[in-house]
Amino acid sequence: MSARNPKLARVHIARKELALTEDSYRSVLARITGHESAGDCTDAQLDAVLAEFKRLGWTPKVKRPTSSVPHVRKIYAQWTAMKPLLRNASDAALRSFVERQTGKSSPEWLDAAQANMVIEALKAWQGRLSSATVKEAAHGAKI
């Protein structure tokens, strides 16, 4: 895989996330690179297009490093599933939760038993949050 493919993918992701119409997208490409197709652009031109998209307000999403340890991936998956229910769903909040539960400041440093304890605590917390949300919705509907 060349370095070019991920840049092309990022250009198309940015276009989608900025909700650019086809005409607007082609206009930006032509203004920045002189080409109307990202496939015709050099790596440097693709970098310039990405810089323009950032100037227009696009912020690339930062990917969390993927762990090779299954129980660490499960902790992150459980946390991601809970995000809509949390006031603070940041990675720092997860690390604080893990530290309160185990005394270790990162899920990556847990052994299998500690990780299982954290996973079960997250599941229980999610259950409490879900039932509270349902109760609030039901209570709000009565008013």
Query: What's the pLDDT tens digit per position in 40-73?
Result: 999 999 999 999 999 999 988 876 667 889 999 9
Number of neighbouring beta carbons within 10 Å of residue 130: 12
**Tens digit of each residue's pLDDT (9 = 90 or more) over 79-110:** 999 998 999 988 899 999 999 999 999 999 99
Sorted by where each begins, the domain ranges of the chain are: 4-55, 70-142
> Would you say residue 35 has pLDDT above 90?
yes
From CA 77, how far away is CA 93, in angstroms rounded? 15
Using an 8 Å Cβ cutoff, are 72 and 64 in contact? no
User: Across the chain, which distance is largest between two alpha carbons, in Å?
Assistant: 60
